[in-house]
């Protein structure tokens, strides 16, 4: 299957600082990528849809000024958690699909963020 | 009623057993049906996807969809300890957004 690489796999940061997470599609171009958040023993919650060359679409309840998404190229999307707080600690996962309908979405390995 | 219902488990089975994982859904607009496997602290890995009622087989895995009952299943034959993971059902409608189940934790005991 296609490969989606996410970096870093884990990060610890201090409250008030910003953290950037990268998501790359390694062997295909993705006009659309998706960012999810997952709490322990819970399912994935879609945060936003990242569109290459345009603004991201955020799900209801997700603060766009706190979770900045940039989709600069067809193979790279970034999520920046700004002014991080301990409640932002979570597992963040990106995905990208090869097909127009986004079937067979492939996921990155996830980033565990801990804010202290 | 939740859009997707999935038993969280944990489900413990002996090695070699047949495992049945299930999800029910309420949204008739779902067009694609997927199963993902997620190991601890890793991203989900696509196992199978289908878009029609019936069975689809891939090695030890069989995905079953019953659209009339709004019910999907994943069967794992000859289960192995390496199959121990969380299994997520996922659904896709025309909006291209995935709706995930809560996941079922499976433990295959050696």
What does the pLDDT profile of chain A (116 residues) look like in tens digits? 678 999 999 999 999 999 999 999 998 888 889 999 998 878 889 999 988 888 899 999 999 999 999 988 889 999 999 999 999 999 999 998 766 556 677 899 999 999 99
Q: What is the pLDDT of residue A98?
A: 66
Q: Do B98 and A34 touch (CB under 8 A)?
A: yes
Q: What is the pLDDT of residue A103?
A: 66
Cβ-Cβ contacts under 8 Å, B104 against chain A: none
Higher pLDDT: A86 or B96? It is A86
Burial zone of B38 (CB within 10 Å; 0-12 exposed, 13-18 middle, 19+ buried): buried
Q: Do B41 and A107 touch (CB under 8 A)?
A: no
Provide φ and ψ at B100, rounded to 5°. Answer: -105, 150
Task: Give the integer Cα–Cα distance in Å for B106 and B86.
Answer: 6
Min Cα separation A93/chain B (Å): 7
Task: Give the integer Cα–Cα distance in Å for B63 and B55.
Answer: 6
Q: What is the pLDDT of residue A100?
A: 56
Question: Band of the pLDDT at B34, cuts 50, 70, 90?
Answer: very high
Q: Do A107 and B45 touch (CB under 8 A)?
A: yes
Q: What is the pLDDT of residue A52?
A: 82
Average pLDDT, chain B: 92
Out of B92, B102, B103, closest to residue A103 by CB: B92
Burial zone of A15 (CB within 10 Å; 0-12 exposed, 13-18 middle, 19+ buried): exposed
Q: What is the pLDDT of residue B70?
A: 95
Q: Cis peptide before A14, with omega less than 30 degrees from 0?
A: no
Percentage of chain B surpassing pLDDT 70? 99
Cβ-Cβ contacts under 8 Å, A96 against chain B: none
Q: Do A105 and B98 touch (CB under 8 A)?
A: yes
């Amino acid at each position: 299957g296609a490969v989606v690489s996410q970096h870093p796999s884990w990060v610890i940061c201090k409250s008030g600082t910003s953290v950037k997470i990268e998501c790359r599609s390694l062997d295909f171009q993705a006009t659309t990528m998706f960012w999810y958040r997952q709490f322990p023993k819970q399912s994935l919650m879609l945060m936003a849809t990242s569109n290459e060359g345009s603004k991201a679409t955020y799900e209801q309840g997700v603060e766009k000024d706190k979770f900045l998404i940039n989709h600069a190229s067809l193979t790279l999307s970034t999520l920046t958690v700004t002014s991080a707080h301990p409640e932002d600690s979570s597992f963040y996962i990106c995905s990208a699909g090869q097909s127009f309908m986004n079937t067979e979405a492939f996921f990155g390995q996830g980033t565990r963020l801990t804010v202290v | 009623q939740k859009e997707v219902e999935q038993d969280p488990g944990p489900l413990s089975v002996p090695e070699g057993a047949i495992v049945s994982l299930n999800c029910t859904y309420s949204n008739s607009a779902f067009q694609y049906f997927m199963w993902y496997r997620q190991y601890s602290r890793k991203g989900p890995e696509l196992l199978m996807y289908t878009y029609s009622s019936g069975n689809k087989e891939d090695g030890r895995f069989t995905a079953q969809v019953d659209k009339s009952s709004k019910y999907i299943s994943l069967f794992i034959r000859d289960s192995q300890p390496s199959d121990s993971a969380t299994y997520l059902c996922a659904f896709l409608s025309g909006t291209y957004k995935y709706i995930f189940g809560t996941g079922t934790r499976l433990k295959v005991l050696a």
